Amino acid sequence: MNMTLDGFVGDVKGQLNWMLPEVDEKQIKYLHKLTDSIDTIILGRVMATEGIPYWESVAKSKSKNEEVVYANLFVKTPKIVFSKTLKNFEGENTSIEKGNLKKAITELKSEPGKDIMVYGGARFVLSLIEQDLIDELHLFVHPVAIGNGLPIFGKKSKFELVKSESYSNGIILHQYNSFEKLFSDSKLIV
C-alpha cells in the first residue's frame, strides 16, 4: 500500500495525486514478486467501483507497456468485493461477499492456494487491521506529507519489521508481519 510520510493512504477526498511514479527497477521487481505470490484480490466497495473498471479498460487498450501487463494480471485474478450495499457488480472474475468480514476472511484464508492481496480502500484496510486480519503489510512510503487524509490505522497494532529498502524515486518500502497473525494456508497481505 502506498502511504505518505505523515501516514495517509489518500487525501481527504481519497485522491492519490501525491504519489510518485514507480520508476525504480528494484521497486518494480519487488512489486512483480509480490503479485506473483497471490491468487486472490479482495477490495472494499469504494475501491472496487473505481479500480476494477479502470484496470479492465487499461487491459483492453492496445498499448504494450508495464501498466497493461499489470492490468491483464489484475483482470484475470479472482476478485472478491466486500460490501453490505452492492447487489451485484459487473467485472471480470469478480464476486461480492456480504457476510461477516472476520468470518469470511478467516474462511478464505483457510482455503488452499496462494496469498490473498488487499487492494483497499482505506476504510476497508482499516477494518481489516482493527480486526487483526492482516498477516503482512507492505508499505511504500512516499517522501510526501499532505497534512490530512485517510489513515489505515485506528487502534494500537503491533507489527514486526521484516524488511526495509529504499528506491531511487525516494520511496521506502517497509515490510511488516503482524504479531496477531492467524495461522492458515494463505496470508492476507496489504
Contact 113, 6 (CB under 8 A): no
Q: What is the pTM of this model?
A: 0.89
pLDDT at 185 over 60: no
* AA letter at 144: V
pLDDT band for 64, please (50, 70, 90 cuts): confident
pLDDT for the residue 180: 58
The cell numbers describing 6, all together, are 505523515
pLDDT tens-digit map of 6-22: 999 999 998 999 999 88
pLDDT tens-digit map of 126-137: 999 999 899 999
Give Cβ neighbours of residue 40 (< 8 Å, ≥ 6 apart): 77, 78, 79, 80, 108, 113, 114, 116, 117, 186
- Whole-number Å distance between alpha carbons of 22 and 15: 17
CATH class of 2-189: alpha beta
pLDDT for the residue 184: 46
Contact 24, 168 (CB under 8 A): yes
C-alpha distances out from residue 57 to 15, 22, 43, 67, 171, Å: 20, 20, 18, 11, 28
